[in-house]
Amino acid sequence: MNTLAQGISILVLFIVSPIINGWVLSKIWLWFIVHSFNAPVISIPEAIGLMILIGFFKGKEVDDEYETKSLWEKIAYLFIRVVVKSGFLLLFALIIKQFL
What are the structural domain ranges in the chain?
A: 19-45+69-100
Q: d(Cα 36, Cα 89) in Å, to the nearest integer?
A: 19
Query: How far is the C-alpha of 13 from the C-alpha of 11, rounded, in Å?
Result: 5
- Note down pLDDT in tens along the chain; length 100 residues: 578 888 888 888 889 899 999 999 999 999 999 988 999 999 999 999 999 998 888 876 766 676 777 888 888 888 888 889 899 999 999 999 998 8
Q: What is the C-alpha to C-alpha distance for residues 100 and 88, in angstroms, rounded to an integer? A: 19
Q: What is the pTM of this model?
A: 0.82
* Cα(47)–Cα(18) distance, integer angstroms: 9
Question: How far is 18 from 78, CA to CA, in rounded Å?
Answer: 12
